[in-house]
Structure 1
Amino acid sequence: MGGTMDSTKQQRRRGDTRRRIQDVALALFAEQGYEKTSLREIAERLDVTKAALYYHFKTKEEILVSIFEGLVRPVEELIEWGREQPHTLETKQEIIRRYSEALGG
C-alpha cells in the first residue's frame, strides 16, 4: 500500500512542478513575448536546470499547448456533461454556474 501512496505523492509533485513551469512560462510570455522567451530563461526563473525543465517539457511549444489544454479541458468536460443532461431550465442554470466556476468566478 505504501507504494501507491508514494506514487500518488510523486504524481502530485510532478503536477505541481508542471503547473509552476506553466505559470512562469506564461508570465514570461506576457512580459517579453513568446518568441523572445527561451527555455533557459524559464529554467532560470524557476531556479532549476534546463535538464529538469526538459523532464517535463521538451519545447516552449509543449508548454504553450499544455497551458491551452488546461484552459480548454474544463469547458470541454462541461459541454460533455451538459449533453448528457435533460434540456431543462435547471440544467441551463447549472451549466452557467459550473462555467462561472471554471472561469474562476
Structure 2
Amino acid sequence: MYEAVFNKGTVSSKTSTRLYGGALFSISLILWNSMYTVEKVIIRWTLLTEACYFSIQLIVTTVTVIESGSATMAAAVLLSCCLLFVLVSIYFYYQVGRRPKKI
C-alpha cells in the first residue's frame, strides 16, 4: 500500500488497494451512522474502532518503511499523521467515558 500511495515502485496486485479501500469505506459508514446518536456507548465504540484502525495502519506503515529502508519526508508525515489520529481518537474516547463533574 505504501508503494501505491507514494509511487515508489510498481504494484503487481490491486488486491491490497481494494482491501484498504473497503476498510476505509466500512470505517466511514460506522462514523457516519454514529454522528446522529446521543448514546455514549455507541460513540465510545466508534472512537475505539477508529483508534484501532489507525493503530494498525501506523504499525503496518512503520514496518513497511523499516523493511524498505527508505525513510522519506513523505513517510514521516504519513506516520506522524497516523500517530496524531490515534492520540486524538484515544483522547476523545476517554473524555466521552468520563463522568460529569458535580457542581
TM range (shorter): 0.3 to 0.5
Q: Larger Rg: 1 or 2?
A: 1
Give me the TM-score of the superposition, normalised by structure 2. Answer: 0.34
Give me the TM-score of the superposition, normalised by structure 1. Answer: 0.34
RCO higher in 1 or 2 (8 Å CA, sep ≥ 6)?
2
